[in-house]
Structure formats: structure tokens, C-alpha cells
């Protein structure tokens, strides 16, 4: 630090690496290392690459304003405060800006709410400076108004702590997401959705796991299988209540999983879909079939996935038989016009945010009309039309999904959406398109995760 730097008893500083544009710091030549008052200080990452996530309320009188930070841990040290209290603290390195001066300094993190100043500048940070304890604010005066103009998203690259809700931690999709996240220095932890249990408490909602509350994640990636939709949605809802950015919200997952609700929402927003009908009572089966006049028709269990509950009925008689069987076991279903000209092909558009990041054509095996890869179909990269692109993006948006696999069937009367998947697999689309789809997901999280909360209630 330049010899000419004069520092008063209190100065305005900024910590740009942490996304803190202004904070008042008190000089304390009695302390060697500088200290930042933080809370929810949680270490994460591996022993080799230890990081710490913490929350700063830069303005003492405004606890609603919270900045979520993370930094590499460079040490853990026993520190005795001026009050004589000894505690183990994490030490991080960060850039300190004070007036025109900029310097890398060491900071310890500690939670001491009662102190008047959020930051203490110790001797090592002040090395070379002239400390003038009789005056304050010698350097450039900043203020807290700067926080008013910061939007809820802070444009800052930092290590994120990401949780993936999954029952298949070794699947291709999960492995690829972890790989891409780690390339950008993020840390990903897999969480078995079914092992989560919830503390539903308005002041302090938590998700517990294995006898302990889970830490605060910057982002949650839900990969909820159809068999646990209900429970998975409640876990995601709980993370949302904690203020965590969830890649797809609980509500959007619910919208897409209920095939009937999804149809109604999508058709309601003008998305073209095959004509579909739904009835409850066996008394209405005949009338229901009349709504779709052409044969054959497709009957789908509302709970179907991977094409397993999708049946082609060649005649009205066959359709009535299937329907009465479903009704007898109380399995809700929809009846749908059969798009014969699709020839067992459909197009999967992988949507991330407002973009289709990859698209593939899936073809059924042999004489099956279902193109699902799980039922033996094959896939290859395909160019989609402008209309298909628009339909896919709007379909995902209508259901509230940030990441979605939109399945489109090419009919004689134009593209029609068959279904929108909220946990689309990554393997098929990456292999067919040779695109980095997992990387697109990570990029979207980086752009949308909340690093600042202006009206903070929970952290």
C-alpha cells in the first residue's frame, strides 16, 4: 500500500470480489488480521479445495439486505477478539478497495452481530498506511444508496454450492452436470430426494438429511423421477421457501407431470397439441370416443412415462376395452388423436431459459409407434423450424419450466407438442447433437442464481 494513504478511524471501503460495493470499516491497529462480520458461515468443497459460503448484511440497520458470498478458505485460525473471546475462524483472501488504493488482504469471518461496524481493518491490511485515529472518512466517501440500484441478481462470478436432488447420483445426466459445474469451480452435492425430511417453520424452514439440517445451497437442480413426483415437489417447495434458487420450481414440475393439467395449460396459451379428450365415468366412454372421430387413437395413462403407458387402439372396440380396463383399476387416462404421418418419429427440443440449446429426432424401433429412447428408439441431430423453436420455448414458459425437454410431433397440419418433460435426460441429446447441454444448464444457473437479496427474510 502506498505510503501516502491516510486512513481515519472509520472509512468507507469496498470488497469487489465479494460483491460488496460499499461498507464502513473501523481501523483497529490492536488486531493483526482484518475481520468481516458474517453469518451462516458454512464450509463446503473438498479438503483440497475448501471454500466457505457466508452471508453479509452490509448495513447494520437494514437486515433485509443480504449478500451471499463465497471464497476459498486459505486457513483456519484461532483468533482472540478484543472482548477476550477465542474462536476458530475461516480466513479468506480478498481485494480491498479504499480510496484509490487496492490491495489483496486476509480477512477472518466471524458472526458478531452486536458490533457497530461490519468490518475491522487490522494491522496487516493497513501496512504502509498512516492511521489517523482522530479523524474519520478521509478517503472517498461511498454510501449505502449504491445498494438501491443493485438488482436482485449480482453479476459476479463466484463458486456456487449446488445441490442436485436425485435418486440416481451415478447417472449420465448427473455426472455431466457435476463435470461442467466443477469446470467453473462450483461444488455440487447430490441429495437423495427421498431421504430429505422437512422442518416446516415460517421463521426458519429447513430440509434435514441424515439427522442434520442441510446447508444453504445457492442453487438446487431437481431431477425428480415420476414415481416420486409428489414427495419431490414438496422437497423442492421447501428449498424455495428457504430462498434457494431452484432450477425448476415445484409448481412447474407439478404442471408438467400432470399430463392433463399440462395439456390444459398449454392449449390455453395457444400451443398446438393433438386433439385430446378426458372423461371420468364409464357412462361417457362412448361419447368420449366420439370426440375423436378418426381411428386409430392413442390412449395414455396420465401417470405414463418413457412411453410405458401409451397404447394405440386400432378400433373403437379396442379403445373401449382398454378404457374400461383402465377405469376398473381407477387409472386416469386421456384419449388422443393418432398422428399417423409422424411415422414413429418425434423431435425432442431441449430448452434452457429462453433458448433451444439442442434438438434431436427420435425414431421408434421396428414397428412401434412410440419413439422413446427407453423403449429402444434411436436418435439423431435434427434442424428444427423457427415455429418449432418458438413453440418449444413458449411451452416451457407456459408451464413455468426453466429447463425442459419439449417433445414435438410433426403432423400434416404443423408441429404439435406431445409432452413437456421437467427432468429431461442429457445423454441422448448430448450424444446426438454433440453439444454441451450440461454446460448450458450451469451457465443458466450462474446467470440466474441470487447473490443478493434486497428484501431478505430468510437465508
Minimum distance, C-beta of residue 346 to ligand ADP, in the bound complex (Å): 4
CA gap 138, 9 in Å, rounded: 9
Residue 437: which H helix or E strand, with range?
A: helix 437-448
Given the complex with ligand ADP, which of 142 and 339 has the nearer CB atom? 339
Q: Is there a contact between 97 and 14 (Cβ–Cβ < 8 Å)?
A: yes
SS (H, E, C) 160-178: CEEEEECCCCCCHHHHHHH
Given the complex with ligand ADP, which of 407 and 440 has the nearer CB atom? 407
Given the complex with ligand ADP, which of 67 and 418 has the nearer CB atom? 418
Given the complex with ligand ADP, which of 384 and 418 has the nearer CB atom? 418
CA 442 distance to own-chain centroid: 9
Given the complex with ligand ADP, which of 171 and 306 has the nearer CB atom? 306
Minimum distance, C-beta of residue 331 to ligand ADP, in the bound complex (Å): 13
Q: Is there a contact between 174 and 45 (Cβ–Cβ < 8 Å)?
A: no
How is residue 190 written as a grid cell? Answer: 447430490
Given the complex with ligand ADP, which of 161 and 362 has the nearer CB atom? 362
Match 448430448 to its residue by C-alpha cell: 430
Q: What is the rounded (10 degree) CA torsion for 238, 222, 161, 204?
A: 0
**What is the DSSP secondary structure assignment for residue 282, as one 8-state letter?**
G
Minimum distance, C-beta of residue 330 to ligand ADP, in the bound complex (Å): 19
Given the complex with ligand ADP, which of 182 and 290 has the nearer CB atom? 290
Minimum distance, C-beta of residue 350 to ligand ADP, in the bound complex (Å): 15
Q: How would you classify the pairing of strands 101-110 and 119-121?
A: unpaired
Minimum distance, C-beta of residue 411 to ligand ADP, in the bound complex (Å): 8
CA gap 417, 402 in Å, rounded: 17
Q: Is there a contact between 93 and 106 (Cβ–Cβ < 8 Å)?
A: yes
Minimum distance, C-beta of residue 303 to ligand ADP, in the bound complex (Å): 9
Given the complex with ligand ADP, which of 99 and 309 has the nearer CB atom? 309
Q: Is there a contact between 87 and 79 (Cβ–Cβ < 8 Å)?
A: yes
DSSP 99-157: TTEEEEEEEEEE--TT-S-SEEE-HHHHTTPEEETT----S----GGGGGGS-SS----
Q: Sign of the C-alpha dihedral, residues 132, 136, 140, 144?
A: positive
Given the complex with ligand ADP, which of 245 and 369 has the nearer CB atom? 369
Number of H helices and number of E strands within the chain? 10, 28
Minimum distance, C-beta of residue 348 to ligand ADP, in the bound complex (Å): 8
CA 91 distance to own-chain centroid: 29
Minimum distance, C-beta of residue 294 to ligand ADP, in the bound complex (Å): 11
**What is the DSSP secondary structure assignment for residue 384, as one 8-state letter?**
P
**Footprint on this chain of ligand ADP (rule: CB under 6 A):** 274, 298, 300, 304-310, 336, 338-339, 342, 346, 369-372, 407, 409, 418-419
Minimum distance, C-beta of residue 224 to ligand ADP, in the bound complex (Å): 14
Amino acid at each position: 500500500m502506498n505510503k501516502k494513504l491516510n486512513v481515519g478511524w472509520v472509512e468507507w471501503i469496498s470488497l469487489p470480489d465479494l460483491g460488496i460495493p460499499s461498507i464502513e470499516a473501523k481501523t483497529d491497529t490492536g488486531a493483526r488480521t482484518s475481520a468481516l462480520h458474517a453469518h451462516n458461515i458454512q464450509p463446503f468443497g473438498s479438503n483440497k479445495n475448501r471454500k466457505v459460503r457466508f452471508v453479509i448484511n452490509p448495513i447494520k440497520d437494514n437486515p433485509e439486505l443480504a449478500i451471499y458470498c463465497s471464497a476459498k478458505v486459505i486457513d483456519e485460525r484461532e483468533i482472540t477478539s478484543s472482548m477476550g473471546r477465542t474462536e476458530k475462524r475461516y480466513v479468506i483472501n480478498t481485494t480491498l478497495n479504499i480510496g484509490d488504493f487496492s490491495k489483496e488482504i486476509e480477512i477472518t469471518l466471524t458472526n458478531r452481530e452486536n458490533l457497530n461496524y461490519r468490518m475491522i481493518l487490522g494491522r496487516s491490511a493497513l501496512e504502509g498506511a498512516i492511521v489517523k485515529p482522530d479523524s474519520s472518512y478521509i478517503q472517498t466517501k461511498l454510501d449505502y444508496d449504491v445498494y438501491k440500484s443493485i438488482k436482485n441478481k449480482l453479476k459476479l462470478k463466484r463458486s456456487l454450492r449446488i445441490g442436485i436432488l436425485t435418486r440416481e447420483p451415478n447417472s449420465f445426466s448427473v455426472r455431466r452436470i457435476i463435470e461442467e459445474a466443477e469446470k467453473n469451480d462450483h461444488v455440487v452435492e447430490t441429495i437423495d430426494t427421498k431421504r430429505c425430511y422437512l422442518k416446516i417453520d415460517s421463521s426458519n424452514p429447513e430440509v434435514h438429511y441424515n439427522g442434520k439440517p442441510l446447508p444453504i445451497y445457492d442453487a438446487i437442480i431437481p431431477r425428480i423421477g415420476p414415481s416420486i413426483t409428489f414427495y419431490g415437489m414438496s422437497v423442492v417447495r421447501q428449498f424455495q421457501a428457504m430462498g434457494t434458487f431452484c432450477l425448476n420450481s415445484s409448481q412447474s414440475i407439478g404442471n408438467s407431470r400432470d399430463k392433463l393439467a399440462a395439456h390444459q395449460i398449454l392449449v390455453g396459451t395457444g400451443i398446438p397439441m393433438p386433439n385430446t379428450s378426458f372423461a371420468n365415468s364409464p357412462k361417457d366412454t362412448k361419447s368420449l370416443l366420439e370426440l375423436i372421430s378418426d381411428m386409430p387413437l392413442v390412449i395414455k395413462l396420465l401417470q405414463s412415462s418413457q412411453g410405458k403407458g401409451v397404447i394405440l387402439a386400432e378400433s373403437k372396440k379396442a379403445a373401449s376395452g382398454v378404457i374400461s380396463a383402465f377405469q376398473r383399476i381407477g387409472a386416469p387416462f386421456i384419449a388422443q388423436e393418432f398422428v399417423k404421418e409422424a411415422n414413429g418419429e418425434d423431435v425432442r427440443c431441449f430448452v434452457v431459459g429462453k433458448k433451444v440449446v439442442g434438438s434431436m429426432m427420435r425414431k421408434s424401433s421396428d414397428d412401434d409407434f412410440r419413439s422413446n429412447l427407453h423403449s429402444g428408439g434411436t436418435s439423431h441431430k435434427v434442424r428444427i423450424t423457427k415455429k418449432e423453436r418458438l413453440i418449444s420455448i413458449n411451452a416451457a414458459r407456459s408451464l413455468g419450466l426453466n429447463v425442459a425437454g419439449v417433445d414435438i410431433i410433426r403432423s400434416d397440419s404443423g408441429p404439435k407438442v406431445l409432452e413437456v418433460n421437467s427432468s429431461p435426460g442429457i445423454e441422448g441429446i448430448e450424444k446426438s447433437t454433440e453439444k454441451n447441454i450440461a454446460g448450458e444448464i450451469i451457465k443458466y444457473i450462474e446467470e440466474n442464481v441470487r447473490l443478493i437479496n434486497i428484501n431478505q427474510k430468510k437465508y
